Amino acid sequence: MATDRKRVSAVNSTSSSLELPMDNYSQSSQADLKPRKPRVYRSKVFIIAVSFSSVLLLIMISAFAVHYTVGFPSSSLPNGGEKDALTMALPPEQRVWVEEGISELRNAVERKDNKRRAKNVILFVGDGMGPNTVTAARIMGFKEEGLMSWEKFPDMGLLKTYCANKQVPDSFSTATALFSGVKVNYETGGVDSSVPLGDCAASLNPDRHVQSILKMAQDDGKLTGFVTNTRVTHATPAALYAHTPDRRWECEQKMPAAATVEGCRDIARQLIEEPTGQKINVIMGGGRQMLVSNVTDSEADPIDTWSCKSNDGRDLIQQWANIKAANNEAAVVVQNSGELDAINAQDTDYVLGIFANGHLKYEHERDTSPSGMPSLKQMTLKALQVLRSKNQGFLLVVEGGMIDQAHHRGTARKALNEVLAFNDAINATLQALGNDLQDTLVIVTADHSHTLTINGHASKGSNIFGVAGNSKTEGTPYTTLTYGTTYQGFQPDANGLRKDPTLEDTNDWEYMQQGAINTDENYHGGSDVTIHAVGAMSYLFHGVHEQSYVAHAITYALRIGRFRDSSIAESLADLLPL
Ligand SMILES: [Zn+2]
């Protein structure tokens, strides 16, 4: 009110002082009828103009002062007005965003590049773990505000996952890009893109073979290993040691007769009989039916009927053990969780752990007793123990392979639960590493995406497997999660309309989310995937990269392969010695 009055009085005084010279002028013009001298006339105009300007300036200053006082109460203007008005205005429960923002900012400002040469590298690959899969798993496990273990890493980027001849790739071509640094044809691996799918003769040319980071690490005296919860001959691990024009050639039974005659070896034989496979210190996963002929089927350990099943009389597990014994090497074969735990890492140089005929069981249906199958975390920790015990540096690749399997079946809850199991393995690894993280590069990425979609607009805190709302055009409820492609697509009812998902339990492990396109299964998605890194040289992952960049960055961090010559490496960046 006081300021309003001030403003009114300022206006009144202005108008009265404006009228004064006008009145004077009119009085004088009435009194004096003689023509006025031009000098006097100009002088009066000059005085009036100056007076007018002064008054106008006074009005402006008053108005500014009034506006300033009203806009910013004096209590919020201490010490030059530097106080954060946003913070002052926010209720306490919302200050968390400001506090978190400042904390994240502090981390960003204080971040220092670790330029130590990496002695060890651990590469975690979540098969099919696209960005939406991570977001949905995060909400499932930790609510919207949570973070997966790798989402706290200081460095991250994106990978473009297309392969040499497809916009949306398969896991064999992407694993070859990640591990060998070149993009190759769909469903081929360990051979360059001049080798067409299924061309045995072309794949036999050693000039067409690409070398993996695992082979290069072996050549430079490092220990190597891989862990997967799929078959050890499956696409992702196979790209570490095999050179094969068709990912289906996991055993002899899926190979064309002509390819066998031409001299191509199936993937299982390459693992056990070729030099790179023989030098791998730790091999863990499933796939017994590829390594041993005519394995027995059981409910606890079913045969995978979708894939190869050897029947040529082989026992490559025994053959592996015989080779190690002949070389007098400290090697052990383990086939269940209890045997795995019993391994004494100090006394062991080689481990072959084959825990299932096909893939290992999903984490939620796994027999957790010693006679059952181990978790990804158990396998990873034991692999780490064996590889660290020799202190000569190591490369370990860990695949969370069942994320992809569950997505293919269209069962999102299983897929997301597998992401959480993958997260457990990574958390446990970081804890086990402790200070060794200083000279270990830990990377977490995915090989490709899936078509999982997170639909709007469920309330914050909602069950991620629940219903997001009702369609405004058809009235039928829809779930938050759906797929682009699935078996039975949008699951039409008897009238051909999209089925009401609430007629089923959408929280059930076996529930299949609806999809836009009806086909035989959910296909891979073509979105970029994230890559996160911590430890030695993690700063190398910083922007949008081709997937094939990863192999080059790892060989550079380890200074193996083409970067073994230190002068080449030092021309790229300052590297601190070990
Ligand atoms: Zn897949």
Question: Where do the DSSP E strands lie in 488-575?
Answer: 515-519, 524-525, 529-535, 544-546
Structure tokens belonging to residue 159:
């990978």
Summarize pLDDT for 492-516 with one digit per residue, the tens.
Answer: 999 999 999 999 999 999 999 999 9
Residues 456 and 178: their CA atoms lie apart, in Å, by 34
127 in a labelled binding site: yes
How many Å lie between the centroid of ligand 1 and the Cα of residue 311? 26
Give CB contacts under 8 A, 24+ apart, made by 422-427.
422/124, 422/126, 422/129, 422/376, 423/137, 423/141, 423/148, 423/149, 423/150, 424/375, 424/376, 424/377, 425/124, 425/375, 425/376, 425/377, 425/380, 425/398, 425/400, 426/124, 426/148, 426/149, 426/150, 427/149
How many Å lie between the centroid of ligand 1 and the Cα of residue 427? 25
246 in a labelled binding site: no
Which three-class secondary structure string do you get for 220-254? CCCEEEEEEEEECCCHHHHHHHCCECCCCCCCHHH
State percent of the chain over pLDDT 90: 79
Short-list 63, 410, 394, 27, CA closest to 213: 394
How many Å lie between the centroid of ligand 1 and the Cα of residue 402? 9
Summarize pLDDT for 257-307 with one digit per residue, the tens.
Answer: 999 999 999 999 999 999 999 999 999 999 999 999 999 999 999 999 989
Give the count of beta carbons closer than 10 Å to the beta carbon of residue 552: 19
Note the pLDDT of residue 94: 84
Average pLDDT over residues 312-322: 98
How many Å lie between the centroid of ligand 1 and the Cα of residue 172? 9
Averaged pLDDT of the chain: 89
Enter the pTM of the model: 0.85
Short-list 380, 189, 385, 174, CA closest to 271: 189
Average pLDDT over residues 216-228: 98
How many Å lie between the centroid of ligand 1 and the Cα of residue 283? 21
Average pLDDT over residues 220-248: 98
457 in a labelled binding site: no
Most confident range (mean pLDDT) of 11-15, 60-64, 550-554 is: 550-554
How many Å lie between the centroid of ligand 1 and the Cα of residue 248? 13
Summarize pLDDT for 533-565 with one digit per residue, the tens.
Answer: 999 999 999 999 999 999 999 999 999 998 887
450 in a labelled binding site: no
Q: Which member of 149, 171, 173, 375 is catalytic?
A: 171
Report the relative pairing of strands 529-535 and 155-160 from DSSP bridges.
antiparallel
Residues 240 and 207: their CA atoms lie apart, in Å, by 17
Statement: residue 20 has pLDDT above 50: no
How many Å lie between the centroid of ligand 1 and the Cα of residue 363? 18
234 in a labelled binding site: yes
How many Å lie between the centroid of ligand 1 and the Cα of residue 275? 28
How many Å lie between the centroid of ligand 1 and the Cα of residue 103? 38
Given pLDDT bands bounded at 50, 70 and 90, which one contains residue 350?
Answer: very high
How many Å lie between the centroid of ligand 1 and the Cα of residue 245? 17
404 in a labelled binding site: yes
542: three-class secondary structure by DSSP:
coil
Summarize pLDDT for 366-420 with one digit per residue, the tens.
Answer: 999 999 999 999 999 999 999 999 889 999 999 999 999 999 999 999 999 999 9
The yes-or-no answer on residue 103 being catalytic is no
How many Å lie between the centroid of ligand 1 and the Cα of residue 171? 6
250 in a labelled binding site: no
424 in a labelled binding site: no
Given pLDDT bands bounded at 50, 70 and 90, which one contains residue 82?
Answer: low
Q: What structural domains does the chain harbor?
A: 120-448+523-566 (3.40.720.10), 452-521 (no CATH)
Q: What angle do CA 163, 165, 168 make, to 5 degrees?
A: 55
Q: List 485's β-bridge partners, or say none.
A: 517
How many Å lie between the centroid of ligand 1 and the Cα of residue 301? 21
Residue 216 contacts residue 551 (beta carbons within 8 Å)? no
Note the pLDDT of residue 89: 74
Residue 418 contacts residue 99 (beta carbons within 8 Å)? no
